Structure 1
Amino acid sequence: MTRNFDASARHGIARVLFCIASLLPSMVPAQEYPVKPVQVIVSLPAGTGIDVLARTLAQAMDAKFGQRFLVVNRTGQGVMVAANALNTAQPDGYTIAFMPATLITVQLHREKQPPYNRNTFVPICQAFDNILFVTVAANSPFKDLQSMLAFAKANPGKLRYGTSGIASAPHLAGAELFQRSGVQLTDVPYAGEVAYLPHILSGQLEMGMISAYLVGAQKGLRPLAVFSKERQKAYPNLPTTAELGHPISTLAYGGLFIRSDAPAAIIARLDAACREVVNGTAYGDMADKQVVRATYLDRGAFTARIDADFANIGRLLDTLKLKD
């Protein structure tokens, strides 16, 4: 009898300990998150401007929290490989992603059966705006955007422009510009702007939608306009698409994302840390070197921007027949 009681007692104690252990992850936010390294998924290859910014942010988080924030590159299928990695991670706050907002604004429209939905992830904070330029070779006959558009109107489909893949931010920026202008150009998708840059320089492509970093770093290019509401400090004489009558908001922005079922206290702590880091000198200086705008928006404002673009891009993809 005593033996049976002892066995039953041990079993009961084990069950109690198991229940306590299962509650520990949810208790962490109220104590000292993070208590172990945090994985930061990045959807772009190592060495790219956004990857460098992600690593700068991770280092600042290391110092702030006293735990490692480890960048892990998950590239492929646009942002889908990275999005799937975040989707399948435990919702405990120890896996976050630093990536473009296109995982929501574009991919949910494009995929027939996406492995996640609009409510799977929440934006923690916006951390960057990548500026794009309509760019030609320096020896191109086109000296400004207006002359290029006039030629395109007179020669439908003759001009070709390089993009970083179908429905990428550069592709959609160019497609919306040309649609608004009533002209037809041929888009040529590549794996990334580095891949199609040589073809612009050689004349195989007449133009491309190129990031500010490459426009500044690569000799032999001539920007015709910048996708922005305001002129850029580095190019004070270069007009914006907005002032030329085409107020286009590109999708080349992003920040931190996390599973929506992660603890709310952890999301709040990460947002507060993101604000401090993105508005800090080290991150801002690195963004300047990458010619990327360090733009902080809190969760509410970032979500509102994504929601607005989600609706607008849905309509654009319909007109371009780009929904799968």
Structure 2
Amino acid sequence: MGARSDLSNCAGQKWGTEKLMLRSGGLMLALLVTAAAPWPSATGAQEAYPTRTVKIVIPSAAGSTTDTLARIVADHLTHRWGKPAIVENIPGGAMNIGASNVARSAPDGYTLLIAPPSPLSFNHLLYRDPGFDPRGFVPIALLAKIPNVLAVRNTLAVDTLKELIDYAKANPGKLSYASQGVGSTAHLSAAQLEAQAGIKMVHVPYRGAQPALTDVVAGHVDLFFDTLATSVPLYREGKLKLLGVADARRANVAPELPTLSEAGLPGFRSITWFGLVGPSGMSARLAEKINHDTVEILTSNDVADTLRRLSLEPCITSPTDTARFFAEETALWSQVIKEAGIEPQ
């Protein structure tokens, strides 16, 4: 799949001045990043930000991991800024509705988007008209990540990734995998598994992660790429088998689980991450200002501890790092989508 940025530790990066031009899967990102500072207005005066309420759009329903993370960040931004940062849920359309709402907003920093991978890295590859240009966002920061894990039903007679692959090769088309729908991270992760392992499985799409996971636990579907946060408790209760973590390093919450790379799929990565972006046209200085304030929040012990209790790992990155990572994710999933033969809807 090629080399990718290692976010396994989500390490902080230094801020500086550089111009980054990235071309990946037809996606061009151009970002001039400068040191965090107030920015001049048309009159030359330095403007304050924010001076009023900042709206943070979440393209999913209340109660989702994205929503929970956004509310933690918004609450701390409110205290830091002295102005309200409010969360507005705009779900629907495979997250395209909420994303397009932000893409059409004024680039003044008062409408932002916090989203998982799909609208920020691959929805434009799955939908002919997602309602927004994928270049229509200014990357601000990666907030957090959570690795995905390969979960299988307890009654499946495999205990390791190798045994799963051997079973799939001996029984082509017999294994089934659940997902949250066509083009979801779980779908694309399973497609990546098929391509890398040289196997074929049956896709069973659901309308959400919870019903998908429920049917795997019940034994109606064989496997599911789920997040650690929801799978590990079921694994501890003996209701699921977990064959490996789809990240560069083992998970602290379940260190006994190998990475899928260790288990036999070199370089296999599938993480759910959460990015903060603004509309096209937002100034680099404003993006850096918001990034700086967000980083200050994420590096505080109380916020970092809160996120880790949710199995989320804080990711401290500059706008440049964020842009680079989005481009790499687009390249990865573009290749997976092409190899899986998934046609845009």
- TM tier relative to shorter chain: 0.7 to 0.9
How many residue pairs align between the two structures? 301
1: CA distance, partners of 2:41 / 2:110: 10
| C-alpha RMSD over aligned residues | 2.0
Q: Could you tell me which residue of structure 2 aligns to residue 318 of structure 1?
A: 338
Q: Could you tell me which residue of structure 2 aligns to residue 50 of structure 1?
A: 66
Q: Could you tell me which residue of structure 1 aligns to residue 243 of structure 2?
A: 224
2: CA distance, partners of 1:320 / 1:215: 26
Give me the identity figure in percent. 22
- Find the structure with the greater CA-based Rg: 1
Q: Could you tell me which residue of structure 1 aligns to residue 278 of structure 2?
A: 258
Aligned in 2, Cα 1:150/1:26: closer, same or farther, shift over 3 Å? farther
Is contact 1:124-1:298 (8 Å) kept?
yes
Which amino acid in 2 is paired with 1:226? Answer: V
TM-score with structure 1 setting the length = 0.87
2: CA distance, partners of 1:285 / 1:27: 43
State which of 55, 73, 80 in structure 1 corresponds to 2:96: 80
Alpha-carbon deviation of 1:216? 2.5
Aligned in 2, Cα 1:111/1:253: closer, same or farther, shift over 3 Å? same
State which of 284, 306, 310 in structure 2 corresponds to 1:286: 306
Partner SS state of residue 255, structure 1: strand
Partner SS state of residue 204, structure 1: coil
Alpha-carbon deviation of 1:117? 2.1
2: CA distance, partners of 1:85 / 1:176: 31
Q: Could you tell me which residue of structure 2 aligns to residue 61 of structure 1?
A: 77
Q: Could you tell me which residue of structure 2 aligns to residue 135 of structure 1?
A: 151
Stretches of structure 1 lacking an aligned partner (at least 5 in a row): 1-23
Counting only pairs closer than 5 Å after superposition, residues 25-174 of structure 1 correspond to structure 2 as 30-174=46-190
Q: Could you tell me which residue of structure 1 aligns to residue 4 of structure 2?
A: none
Is contact 2:172-2:200 (8 Å) kept?
yes
Which amino acid in 1 is paired with 2:253? Answer: A
Partner SS state of residue 317, structure 2: coil
TM-score with structure 2 setting the length = 0.82
Structure with a larger share of its residues in strand: 2
After superposition, what is the alpha-carbon deviation per residue over 1:276-311, rounded to whole angstroms, capped at 9, x for unaligned? 112222321222122122112211111111112212
Stretches of structure 2 lacking an aligned partner (at least 5 in a row): 1-39
Q: Could you tell me which residue of structure 2 aligns to residue 270 of structure 1?
A: 290
Structure with a larger share of its residues in helix: 1
Is contact 2:227-2:272 (8 Å) kept?
no
Higher RCO, Cα 8 Å, sep 6+:
2
